[in-house]
Structure 1
Amino acid sequence: MSTVAFIALGANLGQPALQLQHALDLLAKLPQSQLLQQSSFYSSSAVGYTDQPDFINAVAKLKTCLSAAALLQAMLAIEAECGRQRTFQDAPRTLDLDLLLYGDAQIRQDHLIVPHPRMHQRAFVLHPLTEISPDIFIPGLGPASAFLPLVADQQLSVLTAGKPLG
């Protein structure tokens, strides 16, 4: 049985747009999975540790038969392949992949929390997410679009147009 998952992508070291595209290509090659859609690429300021370059962000929609835990492990492997090093919280990075939603599941186990606990507080997640899925519902919180006014003060610029796949 397949599940639709949403994955946030971000990078601000090296060539971020190329790294995001490479990560999307790798997500499309995951076993038992199909990349359905990707959002536009957005530019945003760093959150937390702000003394670093701006990020390029996007959201991918993936249909998968992988469990949430297996998908997370695959995402971590993609980050590692793209040179991700975890030096400190909110550090600059070559690639960051976050599992935002896994169907309508609410999961809390070890290093896996779904829905992503801060997704509704981040313009760089909400805008690309609602771009590709305008009526998406965040389990336990409500429609993602309801949170857009709350992040209106966060700077965000669209860089490229998203594209449906398949």
Structure 2
Amino acid sequence: MRNLAYLSLGSNIGDRESHLVNAIARLQACGTIVRVSSFYETEPVEVTEQAWFLNCAVAMETEQTPSQLMAAALKIEREMGRHRAQKKGPRTIDIDILLFGKTVLNSPELTIPHPAMHQRRFVLESLAEIAPEARHPALQKTIRDLRDALPPGQGVRRINNAPRIRTD
């Protein structure tokens, strides 16, 4: 059975744009990439003494389970040089599953929907670009409504020269 999954990707070390493009290409082994948002330059949250991130959202159809997709994402992160020495610290690539169909899952290994997605402008701006009417299955609100309800704050700016990603 194919499920529609939404992921958030981010990078703030090295060639951030190349890291995102590389991760998206690698994710194609997990299913069909349906849409990719523009790239957004975003202010770090929580650990603020680090470089700004480049982020995007990806919609993909997959036959994998949430756990299989998460394992694949973690493998991609490792292969691309992600080190988890500092929680919320700088990273070559970060791949989070935001939504997976209408799944609500809370296990020690994985929580879907992503537990902080509704509080993060860097997630909601890019996700609203590609799926404004998608619904958060626990909060029963659209991505657009969640984004519009955020207080002002976190710096997020769309990068107009984001590369076009082939999704076929």
Residue pairs, 1:11-160, within 5 angstroms? 11-30=11-30, 33-141=31-139, 142-149=141-148, 150-159=150-159, 160=162
1:165 Cα shift?
3.1
Structure 1, residues 69-92: CA drift from partner, whole Å, max 9, x if none? 000000000000110000121100
CA distance in 1, matches of 2:26, 2:51: 24
Moved more, 103-112 or 154-163: 154-163
List gaps (5 residues or longer) in structure 2: none
Shift in alpha-carbon separation, 1:19–1:164, aligned structure 2, 3 A:
closer
Q: Which amino acid aligns with 1:152?
A: P
Unaligned segments of structure 1, at least 5 residues: none
For the structure 1 residues 70 and 55, does the alpha-carbon distance in structure 2 shift closer, same or farther, using more than 3 Å as the test? same
Q: How far did residue 161 of structure 1 move?
A: 6.7
- Cα distance, 1:26 vs. partner? 0.3
Change in Cα spacing, 1:162 to 1:133, as seen in structure 2 (3 Å) is farther
RMSD: 1.4
TM-score by length of 1: 0.94
Contact 1:8–1:100 (8 Å) recurs in 2: yes
- Number of aligned residue pairs: 164
Q: Distance in 2 between matches of 1:158 and 1:47?
A: 17
Alpha-carbon distance between aligned partners in 2 of 1:79 and 1:151, rounded to the nearest angstrom? 31
Q: Distance in 2 between matches of 1:103 and 1:127?
A: 19
- Contact (CA 8 Å) 2:128, 2:147: kept in 1 or not? no
Distance in 2 (alpha carbons) for counterparts of 1:12 and 1:90: 11
Alpha-carbon separation, structure 2, partners of 1:53 and 1:119: 21
Contact 1:44–1:157 (8 Å) recurs in 2: yes
Q: Compute the TM-score of the two structures, normalised by the length of structure 2.
A: 0.93
8 Å Cα contact 1:123/1:152 also seen in 2: no
> What SS does structure 1 have at the residue aligned with 2:6?
strand
Give secondary structure in 2 for the equivalent of 1:29.
helix
Deviating above 2 A after TM superposition, structure 1's stretches of 4 or more consecutive aligned residues are 160-166
Could you say if the C-alpha distance between residues 100 and 89 of structure 1 is closer, same or farther in structure 2, counting changes exceeding 3 Å?
Answer: same
Alignment deviations for residues 47-86 of structure 1 (CA, whole Å, 9 cap, x no partner): 1111100000001001000000000000000000110000
Amino acid at match of 2:167: L
Alignment CA distance shift 1:91-1:12 (3 Å): same
In structure 1, give the amino acid aligned to 2:42.
S
Q: Does the 8 Å contact 1:123/1:151 carry over to 2?
A: no
